[in-house]
Structure 1
Amino acid sequence: MPCLLRAIGLLGLMLAAHTAAADKLRMVGDAWAPYADASLLNGGLAIDLISTALRRAGYTTEYEQVPWARAIYDLGEGRYDVLIDAWYSDERTRIGQFSAGYLTNRLRFIKRKNSDIDYQNLAQLHAHSIAVVRGYAYSNAFDNDYELKKIPVASFSTAVRMLAAGRVELTVEDEYAARFALSRESQQVRDSVEFLSKPLAENTLHILVSLKNPDHEKIVARFDQEIAAMKADGSYDTLFKLHGL
């Protein structure tokens, strides 16, 4: 009997460990302050919102910060369960399931202050070089306009330094993210660039759950449910205030 009890106890521990592992989600993203950055409070606004919603949904999470192109690739390979900050694109539905939007980004072009570039429609920009972050989706119209001279770079920091140095004529980024990044750049860079008044687009931000995770539909459904509940109970707005947004 003692041996049987020990065996039952060991089986119970193994089942508990398996359940805990199944409910632990591996999250991934790149540094994109103020939304995601391991050096910020609770990892940044997006990570705070997502981890809170998933915790309320019954999941534990761990987060790894890697370059964007690697994050996308590794999610598709199933090395991670959740990409934390994806804009919608049809191509990405091949590797993951999108949640509903959990916040909105306002995309704006940035030019040098001595430039007379104007933007009312994309056709006006066909003659100008535009630094874009490799692997990012911006808007359907922008992404599918092959007459635009897009210069892929590794990060917005690289893009805005190239812009300030005159190596490209424009770049584009979410307004909050751009302002945060510019506050970390040199005075020379900050003083040499400015936003164009007309935004390119407003994009909803989603989590993207790997199709390699067999529970991807359930994870998305629970996440969406908890984000809606957080908006209803005020905790969603509280996190925005906590992060100064």
Structure 2
Amino acid sequence: MTRLSVNINKIATLRNSRGGNVPNLVAAALACERFGAEGITVHPRPDERHIRYKDVFDLKAEIKTEFNIEGNCQEQKFVELVLANKPAQVTLVPDALGQLTSNHGWDTIKNKTYLQEMVKVFKDEGIRVSIFVDPVEDMVEAAAETGTDRIELYTEGYAAEFGFDKNQAIEPYFKAAVKAREVGLGLNAGHDLDLNNLAYFNQHIPDLMEVSIGHALISDALYLGLEETIKRYLAALKA
């Protein structure tokens, strides 16, 4: 079954808006685990506007499920943070400085040599590597040549199109997933997946191993409560 990793960036955003330590990020992560989440994801950025570098150390010391750290490996401080904490997985995302949220995958053809070097840095330390990519078969194929273990499909395009034409929305992702299988890559997905579109995506994407969901899940928890929300996302992955 596809694993659910909960991205807790938005909990950190709420905490930082007031100062202090409410809500407590570690307590929230442990609650997510207790309610059934099979992983915790964080995406620290240089300005620490949500996840702080210290949070990563605090979380690593406490969580029991898989820890996934996302970020831009072109930032040396990010690389050092990952190597110091040795999460189960690092997801390499090509964010620009000051970018509001992730909005594109790597050009794995243009950046293949660089990505080969960075993948080796992390894999040499026993860290599983996933590369954030758009649903383009050529990009998936080139990703395999970097030595990465997995790719994460950037799903904003699917989410935006889902309400208009499900078949058209899913088509490039299905093709990318088939290509990932052909070239021996594990498959993750994330960005704007929610309770409306998650089950359909999971049902139509072969070999999907993990989804990372933050903004929609934390927003739903405002109305449903965190425990009920996680249960519903897990149910969508079982549908």
| Larger RCO (CA under 8 A, 6+ residues apart) | 1
TM-score (structure 2 length as normaliser): 0.30
TM-score (structure 1 length as normaliser): 0.29
Which of structures 1 and 2 has the bigger CA Rg?
1
